[in-house]
Amino acid sequence: MRIRDLLEPKAVDLSPEVKDKEGAINRLVDLISSTGCINDAERFRQAVFDREAKGSTGLGEGVAIPHAKSAGVSYPGLAAMVVRDGIEFDSLDGKKARLFFIIASPHKASDAHLDVLACLSSLLIDPSFRQSLIDAKSVSEFLSLIDKAESAEKDEEQSHEAAPPSEGGYDLVAVTACPAGLSHTYMAAEALELKAREMGLSIKVEADGAAGNRNKLLPEDIAKAKAVIVAADRTVRMDRFIGKPLVRVGVNDGIRKPEELITRALSPDCPKYSLVSSTESVSLPMLLYRHLMSGLTYLMPLVAASGLLSAFAALDHVNGTDVGFFFETVGYSISILLFPVLSAFIALSIGGRTALVAGFVGGVMADLSGAGVIGAVLNGFAGGAIAYMTAKLARSFLRGHDAMFALLVYPLAGTLGVTAVAEFVTSIPSSALDSWIMDFINQSSPASRALLGAVLASMMSADMGGPLNKLSYAIGVLMLADSLPESGAGGLVMAAVMAGGMVPPLAAGLASLCARPLFSANERKQSLGAIGKGLLFVTEGVMPFMLIAPSRMRFACFAGSACAGALSCWWGCAVCAPHGGIFIIPLAYHALNYASAVGAGTLTGAVLMVLLRIGVKMAR
């Protein structure tokens, strides 16, 4: 299969009338739809915009390759477009995009078409080839240039196919991978190969794409290589590189900075990869956060169950009845599990299965000593560390015969170790800090609580799924777990966090309904969907509205969330579960006030969005 098998003449436009990024994507979708490979154009269009919202596909050097996998695609297809004057596309290098390709891929991609896409991505690395496509005078010339370049590429591949690096192995080995496994994966691989060839170096690159590993690295390739480059935006197998000098970056750096990566990898100062001290650019706070989130994942369903049952038991027509007593008893029983489960799965994330017992014991100790959720978290980290070190020492001394100790020594060592840490290190300070936080929230003035609510709620829309958003949500869940089976201060904080997450999509949906001319056709189609997602506390529903003037739209979301969070805390609203949105509001403490807070935040955000869109339109 060749590129021309996917790229039909009618899917090429050399003089489109587009003025911005949204118009370019819409035109590309229309072009590829004309080939018949799309069975649901709007579904595929939305998939492309959703992919774009996660990160620009403007690769730099004037090239943009929007793409998406979608059930709206019947079979693979390509479309191309040239905008000679260029348009702003949020490209990585800040330059205007002039050459566009769009890739439509079904969920089950064939190996043959992925080879074609890999070839196209490789060709676009060559600046003279890109420029020749931009300068093409007709569609037939455009396609002829691709045919000639593809033939030359295949001839070159065959001439190099069987040429081994040397008896000493490759100078470098590398892995490239992007989330979709399409263009970025192969462009990074080609950029590294071309640059290495220019520098007189041998390299083998494993392209970990949608069809699996291409050019897979063999153990002997890795063993003989002088260094390793991993340019990937998703998880790849790293343990095979232990002991090798390694540079770990994102896939875009593989495309844009191949010479810098090669130089860094071959530098005497390049650190060697190990499981303990990874050369990945992950800071200690990020590692700790990942372990915390592992515990939080297992905690959330229990928090929801305990909170909802306790809230049902407190309803006027249920409270005091046998049914109410049953709900209250079950809710309280579940709440006893919260700290042990949180602590145990933090420990599991650090030390593996041998750390589970130590983690559970740490959670029980936090509960018995009144150390609260802070004590449970600290004991979870302590239990994981103790179990990890115990297992490591056992493996070192017993040389593979440590399995017999798994049922006796590991649990006992973990239990005694974490009990000692809880009793003599974490319990007293954790208990004091936990009590101070709860007292501060419960006894503070409405104005102080409003400020706290504004900060936590605005964090939910500050970076849309980034570290601040996740930190705010984690604080809400942990505080709620610390208060159950009563809602208390934790319910107050969780209410502000949930309001902050609901407002952005609600505001965007309302604004696009009320001021339709200011929003694109695609945005108007997403209006009701965004409102629905907002009601369900799915903050990502706002993403399709962030493509135009993203910084201004983010400010509107930020202000609306802060308003909702501040009013929620000012009125003393509290919720009983860490998720649910509109379904939780009837069970909220001061439910009408809470609904009013969310409504006020939505209105604030929507008004600001409209005003800021008017400003953008006037500026144009």
Which residues does 133 contact at the CB level (< 8 Å), separation at least 6?
80, 82, 99, 142, 145, 146
* 289: nearest Cα among 363, 357, 346, 353: 346
∠ CA 568-569-575 to the nearest 5 degrees? 65
Taking the C-alpha atoms of residue 552 and residue 243, their distance in angstroms, rounded to an integer, is 47
Q: How long is the chain?
A: 620
Decide: residue 567, CB within 10 A, 0-12 exposed, 13-18 middle, 19+ buried: buried
Q: Got the DSSP string for 323-349?
A: HHHHHHHHHHHHHHTHHHHHHHHHHHH
Cβ atoms of 81 and 12 within 8 Å: the answer is yes
User: Is 367 strand, coil or helix?
Assistant: helix
Residue for token pair 């505080």? 479
- Residue 84's φ and ψ, nearest 5 degrees, are -65, -35
Show the DSSP H helices in 516-590 as ranges: 521-525, 527-535, 550-570
- Crossing angle, helix 338-351 and helix 356-369, to 10 degrees? 140
Active site annotation includes 67: yes
User: Is 561 strand, coil or helix?
Assistant: helix
Say whether the peptide bond before residue 485 is cis (omega within 30 degrees of 0): yes
Active site annotation includes 107: no
Q: Of the residues 67, 113, 291, 579, which is catalytic? A: 67
* 83: nearest Cα among 14, 142, 12: 14
CA 197, 202, 208, 212 torsion-angle sign = positive
Distance between terminal CA atoms of the chain?
A: 44
Helix, strand and coil percent figures for the chain, each rounded to 5? 65, 10, 25
- Residue 246's φ and ψ, nearest 5 degrees, are -140, 140
Taking the C-alpha atoms of residue 319 and residue 309, their distance in angstroms, rounded to an integer, is 12
DSSP letter, residue 55: S
* 102: nearest Cα among 76, 126, 133: 76
* 464: nearest Cα among 500, 428, 426: 500
User: Is 581 strand, coil or helix?
Assistant: helix
Q: Of the residues 37, 113, 119, 178, which is catalytic? A: 178
Active site residues: 67, 178
